[in-house]
């Protein structure tokens, strides 16, 4: 059992894809995630989700 994709030989990544991935990570600014979408063996989308960390306490007036 297991994932068959790990037993197959992985094709080399092209320079443009590597550059796009590096750029996505660099643009995060320290916090966030990068999602890579693959369809039929092709990378079709790279999505960045940047996170803005805060430390604000809300004051509730009663």
Reported as a single tens digit per residue, the pLDDT across 44-60 is 999 999 888 888 888 88
CA-closest candidate to residue 32, choices 55, 12, 50, 46 = 50
pTM of the predicted structure, to 2 decimals: 0.64
How many structural domains does the chain have? Answer: 1
Task: Give CA torsion, residues 33, 16, 27, 24, to 10 deg.
Answer: -10
In terms of residue numbers, what domain contains 31?
11-50
Q: Are 32 and 49 in contact (CB under 8 A)?
A: yes
C-alpha Rg value of the chain to the nearest Å: 18
Tell whether 39 is covered by a domain: yes
Each residue of 15-47: pLDDT tens digit? Answer: 999 999 999 999 987 789 999 999 998 999 999
Does residue 4 sit within a domain? no
């Amino acid at each position: 059992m297991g994932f068959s994709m790990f037993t197959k030989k992985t094709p080399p990544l092209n320079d443009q894809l590597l550059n796009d991935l590096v750029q996505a990570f660099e643009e995060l600014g320290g916090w966030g995630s990068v999602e890579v979408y693959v369809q039929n063996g092709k990378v079709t989308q790279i999505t960045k989700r940047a996170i803005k960390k805060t430390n604000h306490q809300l004051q509730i007036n009663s």
